[in-house]
Amino acid sequence: MTAAPDARPAPGDAETAIRTRRSTIRLTGPAPSEAELLDLLAAAATAPDHGHLRPWRVIAICGDARTRLGEAAAEAAPTADLAERTTAKHLRAPLMLALVFQPRDHPTIPRWEQLAATCAMATTLLLLLDARGWAGVWFGGPYTEAPQVRKHLGIGDDEQLLGYLYVGTSVPGEAVRLRAAIDVRSKLSWLGGTAA
């Protein structure tokens, strides 16, 4: 029997995407369409996920819905100035993706592992967006646990809002922020020599 040809991209493709992606704070339109977003989510759902529980859901927020969410968050702000800035922050991208963690009761897969799977999906989604020419950033924000926000988005008592992916197009002429090389030697230790 002949093995099926390997359809995976060359290793350099993924590495380039990982090494070159940058969080983009200043965003403008356009943003991915519903069809493209569904395709991107399907790909992101292949991120490591023990048990294939898919312990997450995504709420896409665009148009006037961003303003209404901003107003709900502003209700939780302690001052009028913060309320105004909070409302404005929800308009900084044409598309917001609310990341909702939905932990499942499971006899062998703990909550922390399900949270890790959800974060892996979100990171993969950001990489995929960047690879397709979109730009984005993941922000938590101070009001993700605010009752007004949870009610507005329909977040259940057993769910957790992990923040938002702000998605759109980089502002033309925006300088690319370079990332300094990272020395990870202090982050790696070996037990039993090395594998080589």
Tell me which of 186 and 12 has the higher pLDDT. 186
**Domains of the chain with bracketed CATH:** 23-171 (3.40.109.10)
Alpha-helical segments (H) within the chain: 11-20, 34-44, 64-74, 80-89, 111-131, 147-153
CA separation for the pair 118, 51 (Å, rounded) = 13
pTM of the predicted model, to two decimals? 0.88
Q: Tens digit of pLDDT for each residue in 92-106? A: 999 999 999 999 999
Q: Tens digit of pLDDT for each residue in 54-94? A: 999 999 999 999 999 999 999 999 999 999 999 999 999 99
Please give the average per-residue pLDDT across 155-180, as a whole number.
Answer: 89
- Residue 3: predicted pLDDT: 42
Q: Tens digit of pLDDT for each residue in 127-164? A: 999 999 999 999 997 799 999 999 999 999 999 999 99
Low-confidence winner among 8-17, 19-28, 108-117, 171-180 (lowest mean pLDDT) = 8-17
- Residue 181: predicted pLDDT: 84
Closest of 39, 55, 146, 148 to residue 102, by C-alpha: 55
Tell me which of 23 and 193 has the higher pLDDT. 23
Closest of 131, 108, 111 to residue 44, by C-alpha: 131
> What separation in angstroms does the CA of 176 have from each of 10, 15, 32, 45, 99?
25, 18, 21, 29, 26
pLDDT > 90 in the chain, percent: 77
